[in-house]
């Protein structure tokens, strides 16, 4: 895949905060805005950021407008999503991926935002980022999360270290993945890369049997089996019996005949590493490094 690396984020740049998914809290967004401004960035808030429709931050049309406008705005260098929740998958059928391809810039989020990030990699050829969000992280960011985010966004490469070996081995391929339950919601859409990839994943509040089901749903896809060359398991918080999860992870790696490692800081927790989706990854002895394509 010939993917586009967005320009690095530098002090003084403008960051757009938008909410493509769940409703946001005004006070928490104001804290995030102040954080960015205090360290030397300008901030633009999406026009519909504080709207509310059911459990989402506005109608599909409003959230889509903010997404397109953030990419079209020539002053904006990075788009940081406000939060996850639900709503991203509702936008996919309406997104103009050409707008994104012609205006490459940093796009960062996790959880429900995974759906948008993966579709941008697939249809806009844009390297995106799984990382912290305005409401959930930048209103009181930890030193660990902050350091990783700015390392990656400024062009300094991160390394990602496992804490346990599930199935030993090495692998290469583009980095691909994110929140497991969100990824599975894309099944039925053509979203799998057409080249070898290293898959990373995490989740929250999903019982072990559902993790089992979702991983098998991916394994049952021919494209996933063909191109998946390694698996990185992040944190699965409040997901039940750890022994069961480790058994499920090992079974998945065995079914795919790929190396797998666990304990990465891809997580819904406070301390999270930012990782570029679409960068070329090299997995050696449980350590993932990457280079931008």
Quick check: is 48 catalytic?
Answer: no
> Any catalytic annotation for residue 202?
yes
**Each residue's pLDDT expressed in tens, for the chain with a length of 293 residues:** 689 999 999 999 999 999 999 999 999 999 999 999 999 999 999 999 999 999 999 999 999 999 999 999 999 999 999 999 999 999 999 999 999 999 999 999 999 999 999 999 999 999 999 999 999 999 999 999 999 999 999 999 899 999 999 999 999 999 999 999 999 999 999 999 999 999 999 999 999 999 999 999 999 999 999 999 999 999 999 998 888 999 999 999 999 999 999 999 999 999 999 999 999 999 999 999 999 87
Catalytic residue among 16, 111, 130, 136: 111
Q: Which of 16, 68, 162, 268 is catalytic?
A: 268
* Closest to 98 (Cα-Cα) out of 71, 124, 69: 124
282: Cα within 13 Å, side-chain hemisphere: 9
Whether CATH 3.40.50.800 fits 160-291:
no
CATH of domain 14-153: 3.40.50.10740
- Domains of the chain by residue range: 14-153, 160-291
Q: Which of 16, 57, 202, 235 is catalytic?
A: 202
Structure tokens, 263? 């304990």
Q: Is 268 a catalytic residue?
A: yes
- Distance, in Å, from the CA atom of 290 to the CA atom of 137, rounded to the nearest integer, reads 24
Structural contact between residues 85 and 56, judged by C-beta atoms closer than 8 angstroms = yes
Give the H/E segment covering residue 251.
helix 242-256
DSSP 8-state class, residue 258 = -
Report phi then psi at 34, rounded to 5.
-60, -40
Reduce the secondary structure of 168-202 to three states and give it as a string: CCCEEEEEEEEEHHHHHCCCCCCCCCCCCEEEEEE
**Angle, alpha carbons 188-190-195 (nearest 5°):** 135
């Amino acid at each position: 895949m010939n993917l586009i690396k967005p320009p690095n984020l530098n002090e003084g740049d403008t960051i757009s905060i938008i909410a493509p998914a769940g409703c946001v809290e005004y006070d928490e967004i104001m804290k995030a805005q102040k954080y960015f401004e205090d360290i030397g960035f300008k901030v633009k808030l999406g026009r519909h950021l504080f709207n509310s429709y059911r459990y989402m931050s506005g109608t599909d049309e409003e959230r889509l407008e903010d997404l397109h406008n953030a990419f079209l705005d020539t002053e904006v260098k990075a788009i940081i999503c406000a939060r996850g929740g639900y709503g991203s998958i509702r936008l996919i059928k309406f997104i103009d991926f050409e707008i994104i391809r012609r205006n490459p810039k940093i796009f960062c989020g996790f959880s429900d935002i995974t759906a948008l990030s993966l579709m941008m990699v697939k249809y806009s050829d844009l390297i995106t980022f799984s990382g912290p969000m305005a409401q959930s992280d930048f209103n009181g960011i930890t030193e660990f999360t902050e350091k990783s985010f700015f390392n990656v966004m400024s062009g300094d490469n991160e390394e990602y270290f496992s804490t346990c070996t599930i199935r030993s081995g090495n692998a290469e391929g583009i980095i691909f993945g994110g929140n497991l339950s969100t990824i599975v919601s894309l099944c039925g859409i053509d979203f799998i890369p057409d080249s070898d990839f290293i898959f990373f994943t995490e989740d929250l509040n999903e019982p072990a049997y559902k993790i089992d089901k979702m991983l098998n749903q991916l394994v049952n896809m021919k494209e996933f089996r063909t191109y998946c060359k390694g698996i990185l398991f992040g944190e699965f918080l409040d997901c039940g019996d750890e022994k069961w999860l480790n058994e499920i992870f090992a079974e998945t790696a065995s079914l795919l005949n790929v190396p797998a490692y666990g304990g990465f800081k891809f997580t819904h927790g406070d301390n999270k590493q930012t990782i570029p989706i679409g960068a070329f990854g090299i997995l050696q002895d449980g350590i993932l490094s990457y280079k931008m394509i």
